[in-house]
Amino acid sequence: MPPTHLVSIVALALVASLVEGQAAIYGQSTARWRRLSEYIKVPRLDSLLTNTRAGPDQQLVSAGQFALLSTHRAGAVFSSIRSVAPVSSAKSTSVVVTTPAAPTTVTTATTAAASPTSSASAGNCPANVPAAGSGTLKFTGVNIAGAQACLATGAYCIIDMHNYARWENTIIGQPGGPTDAQFAATWSQIAAYYANETRIMFGVMNEPHNMPNITQWAGSVQAAVTAIRKAGATTQIILLPGDNWTSAQTFVSNGSADALNKVVNPDGSITNLIFDVHKYLDYDNSGTNAACVTNNIQTAWAPLAQWLRCHGRQAFNTETGGGFNDPGCLTYMCQQIAFQAQNSDVFLGYVGWAAGNFYSGYVLSEMPNVSGTTWTDLPLVSKCMAPVSGSQKGSTGL
């Protein structure tokens, strides 16, 4: 049985958005990969995915859609995943444990887990959350079909809201922008629909940036978390994004980590609340350049790992990538993945940002080559990003 797969799906809501998305899935099984590849050729999806690479502040399109934006993606998980328990929590946590053989879901008692390596609190600090807003989120056939196509592969699927905390050049939770209550109401309806789907993860927002006040943004995230849990989605992972495009390198220094450390579930726990971080390997961390110049270990992953351990938290690298023809990317990507795997107590996994067959020329494409009925992974995938590549036990370059 192949390893767990993961695909990102973009949730377009708040009257919402379809932009820029090329997250993807990795499939060791060509049948599973092809299944998604063929699905994305459905005419309606092709029309949705054409010319949708809008800038983050550009008015967004295709209100009310979810779309499957990718098809070939890199290993979402490591050989083992475990939960880091909050100091004061005595609850049980559902944890996904994945081996190169078959994924298994187990329940572990967090009371037996080791305490963080510092005296810092894990953050059981309830926030004042606005009341839920009103309005009805319009689901479409594409919404449901996209998510079901992902789930049908056996994947764990991320639904994220992909508009950078913006709506028509206003900011969520700021004057003139969508209120926290509206934001929460949108997430409440999405979560209610998928409340019983254990393989759905909720990404609160893709890459917030230039947020006026990180504490206020944490309040908006808290509103979404509370709404998701109260809608019945009580066990799924929720991904918490920080400022500055949720960069792993600045997640601590810009205050995102401390602010989001106070976001809790309605019962005061931090169970399955995971920090959402991104990091590319090009010179400006934009993910728009083919050349890789760093493995990000000294500048991003090592400092973040230290903070996470001190505070009993975990992060998920939900976007990374490198040019498929650049030799340096093979070296640096393998080193980055090896470091994260060797620190899997605090790093839950990684997701390669790629493109499906609707954008085969994408600079970070992970599309396999096809000859007749034979599918061949690109070296960046087969040697680094695939869970079966062995890169997780390789050198970090340190």
- Number of CB atoms found within 10 A of residue 47's CB: 12
Mean pLDDT of 260-278: 97
Share of the chain above pLDDT 70, in %: 59
* Residue whose C-alpha is closest to residue 386's, from 72, 69, 153: 72
Give pLDDT, residue 386.
73
Whether the per-residue pLDDT at 310 is higher than 80: the answer is yes
Q: Residue 254 class from Cβ within 10 Å (0-12 exposed, 13-18 middle, 19+ buried)? A: middle
Catalytic choice (38, 168, 207, 366): 207
What does the pLDDT look like over 360-371, one tens digit per residue?
Answer: 677 888 777 778
Higher pLDDT, 389 or 176: 176
Whether the per-residue pLDDT at 8 is higher than 70: the answer is no
Mean pLDDT of 148-173: 79
Please name the residue ranges forming H helices in the chain.
30-39, 43-49, 141-152, 180-193, 214-230, 243-246, 256-260, 302-311, 327-342, 379-380
Q: For residue 264, what are the CA distances in angstroms to 4, 145, 301?
A: 27, 32, 24
Whether the per-residue pLDDT at 83 is higher than 50: the answer is no
In angstroms, the CA 378 to CA 33 distance is: 14
Whether the per-residue pLDDT at 19 is higher than 60: the answer is no
Mean pLDDT of 218-243: 97
- CB-based contact 98:3 (threshold 8 Å): yes
* Residue whose C-alpha is closest to residue 324's, from 383, 267, 279: 383
Task: Please confirm, yes or no, whether 319 is among the known catalytic residues.
Answer: yes
| Amino acid symbol at 88 | S
Whether the per-residue pLDDT at 103 is higher than 60: the answer is no
Lowest mean pLDDT among 116-120, 191-195, 317-321: 116-120
Helix-strand-coil percent breakdown of the chain, rounded to 5? Answer: 30, 15, 55
Lowest mean pLDDT among 23-27, 319-323, 348-352, 353-357: 23-27
Mean pLDDT of 37-65: 26
Q: The tokens of 179 are what? A: 């209120």
Give pLDDT, residue 150.
66
Binned at pLDDT 50, 70 and 90, residue 274 comes out as very high
Whether the per-residue pLDDT at 233 is higher than 70: the answer is yes
Q: For residue 212, what are the CA distances in angstroms to 4, 27, 208, 374?
A: 38, 40, 11, 51
Task: Please confirm, yes or no, whether 366 is among the known catalytic residues.
Answer: no
Mean pLDDT of 367-383: 79
Give pLDDT, residue 383.
86
- CB-based contact 16:359 (threshold 8 Å): no
Helices (H) and strands (E) in the chain, counts: 10, 14
Give pLDDT, residue 162.
78
Whether the per-residue pLDDT at 156 is higher than 60: the answer is yes
Domains of the chain, first to last: 6-393 (3.20.20.80)
**What is the value of pTM for the model shown?**
0.71
In angstroms, the CA 204 to CA 186 distance is: 11
Please list, residue by residue across 125-162, b when 16 or more beta carbons sit within 10 angstroms of its beta carbon and e when fewer do. eeeebbebbeeebebeebbebbbebbbebbbbbbbbbb
Give pLDDT, residue 60.
20
Instruction: Give the chain's mean pLDDT.
Output: 67
Higher pLDDT, 16 or 364: 364
Whether the per-residue pLDDT at 85 is higher than 90: the answer is no
Catalytic choice (20, 38, 168, 319): 319
Torsion of CA 85, 86, 88, 94, to 10 degrees: -50
Give pLDDT, residue 367.
73
Give pLDDT, residue 157.
78
Q: What SS3 class is residue 150?
A: helix
Lowest mean pLDDT among 38-52, 187-201, 335-349: 38-52
Lowest mean pLDDT among 82-86, 157-161, 204-208, 229-233: 82-86
CA geometry: angle at 159 spanning 157 and 164, to 5°? 140
DSSP-assigned letters across all residues of 94-121: EEEE--SS--EEEEEEGGGSPPPSSS--
Residue 380: φ, ψ to 5°:
-60, -35
In angstroms, the CA 51 to CA 58 distance is: 13
- Note the maximum CA span of the chain: 59
Whether the per-residue pLDDT at 309 is higher than 70: the answer is yes
- 157 forms beta bridges with 7, 200
Give pLDDT, residue 168.
79
Binned at pLDDT 50, 70 and 90, residue 387 comes out as low
Give pLDDT, residue 133.
45
Binned at pLDDT 50, 70 and 90, residue 339 comes out as very high
